[in-house]
């Protein structure tokens, strides 16, 4: 009997776990590639910032969403379906129901399901997108299957990131860094804390930052975005 008990105890020791990585906040699993993501969402719903990590825990991309035109709040009911497909909801003023949009990881709209329609999406085998929909007005349920025309894993994508704005907070002039490929041109979009675009600048790869005069800006929080990558800065 003593020998039998010892054998059981020894077998239990053979089952072990090893900590690989610790995030400092709650994260979620992407539905296709095994990556991770989390989000920042203020109580007023003025924006939603999603950070996506590769399966090796390195940072892939951060993108900020603001309320769509005609909507007052972004919803925390978001899903990173894959590193390149993100679903985000928006609220109309006075409504507790979301309408849903599908975006790519640059923040460009792929699909909008229309007013008062619930949608839930995920990638399924065969590189297809499964979407369950509910028309809240009629109660009709339906399912859509989409082929994904262009898909690249994160290992094949170029990671876009850039340094933080400085000095931050700023009073007169602030440096806004960005990162473009050689020969590339883009637009830098500047938003106030309510998601209203207040300025935009044409940029190219000749430089890696602009100097923005903020003397006329109202003190507060602002965001700037280049190719879907966003950073925050503060004017005092």
pLDDT tens by residue, 192-229: 877 788 999 999 888 889 999 999 999 988 888 887 67
Percent of the chain exceeding pLDDT 70 equals: 85
The DSSP-derived string for 195-214 is S-EEEEEEEETT-SEEEEE-
Q: Does the pLDDT at position 155 exceed 60?
A: no
Residue 4 lies in a domain: no
Q: What's the rounded Cα separation, in Å, for the pair 73 and 93?
A: 8
Give the closest residue to 189 by CA, choosing from 160, 228, 236.
228
Q: Does the pLDDT at position 166 exceed 80?
A: yes
pLDDT at residue number 164: 80
Residue 10 lies in a domain: no
Residue 204 lies in a domain: yes
How many domains, in total, are found in the chain?
A: 2
pLDDT at residue number 149: 62
Q: What mean pLDDT comes out for the span 124-134?
A: 82
Contacts of residue 97, defined as CB under 8 A and 6 or more positions apart, other chains included, come to: 91, 116, 118, 136
Regarding whether 182 and 79 lie in a shared domain, the answer is no
Task: Kindly report the backbone phi and psi dihedral angles of residue 13, in degrees, each rounded to the nearest multiple of 5, phi listed first.
Answer: -70, -20
Residue 211 lies in a domain: yes
Residue 60 lies in a domain: yes
The DSSP-derived string for 44-74 is T-S-EEEEEE-TTS-EEEEEEE-PPTT--EE
Residue 51 lies in a domain: yes
Give the closest residue to 37 by CA, choosing from 91, 93, 81, 74.
81
Q: Does the pLDDT at position 1 exceed 70?
A: no
Regarding whether 212 and 126 lie in a shared domain, the answer is no
Whether residue 167 is preceded by a cis peptide bond, meaning omega within 30 degrees of 0, is yes
Q: What mean pLDDT comes out for the span 126-135?
A: 84
Regarding whether 132 and 185 lie in a shared domain, the answer is no
Whether residue 177 is preceded by a cis peptide bond, meaning omega within 30 degrees of 0, is no
pLDDT at residue number 211: 93
Higher pLDDT, 121 or 73: 73
Contact criterion met (CB below 8 Å) for 189 and 200: yes
What residue ranges in 84-193 does DSSP mark as E strands?
85-91, 98-103, 109-112, 117-124, 128-135, 141-147, 173-177, 185-192
Residue range(s) defining the domain that contains residue 151: 28-156
Contact criterion met (CB below 8 Å) for 161 and 201: no
Q: Please identify, among 107, 128, 156, the residue that sits at the C-terminal boundary of a domain.
A: 156
What's the pTM value of the predicted model, to 2 decimals? 0.54
Regarding whether 187 and 82 lie in a shared domain, the answer is no
Residue 219 lies in a domain: yes
């Amino acid at each position: 009997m003593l020998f039998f008990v010892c054998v059981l105890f020894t077998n239990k020791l053979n089952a072990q776990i090893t900590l690989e990585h610790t995030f400092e906040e709650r994260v979620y699993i992407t539905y296709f590639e095994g990556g991770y993501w989390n989000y920042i969402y203020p109580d007023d719903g003025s924006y939603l910032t999603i950070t996506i990590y590769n399966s090796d825990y390195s940072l892939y991309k951060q993108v900020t969403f603001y309320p769509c035109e005609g909507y007052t709040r972004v919803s925390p009911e978001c899903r990173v379906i894959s590193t390149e497909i993100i679903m985000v909801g928006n609220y109309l003023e006075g409504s507790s129901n979301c309408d849903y949009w599908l975006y790519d990881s640059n923040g460009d709209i792929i699909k909008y399901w229309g007013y008062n329609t619930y949608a839930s999406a995920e990638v399924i085998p065969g590189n297809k997108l499964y979407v369950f929909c509910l028309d809240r007005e009629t109660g009709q349920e339906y399912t859509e299957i989409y082929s994904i025309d262009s898909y690249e894993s994160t290992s094949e994508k170029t990671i876009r990131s850039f340094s933080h704005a400085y000095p931050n907070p700023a009073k007169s002039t602030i440096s806004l860094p960005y990162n473009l490929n050689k020969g590339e041109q883009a637009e830098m979009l500047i938003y106030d804390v309510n998601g209203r675009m207040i300025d935009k600048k044409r940029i190219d790869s000749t430089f890696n930052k602009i100097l923005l005069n903020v003397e006329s800006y109202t003190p507060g929080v602002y965001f700037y975005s280049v190719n879907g990558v966003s950073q925050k800065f503060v004017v005092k």
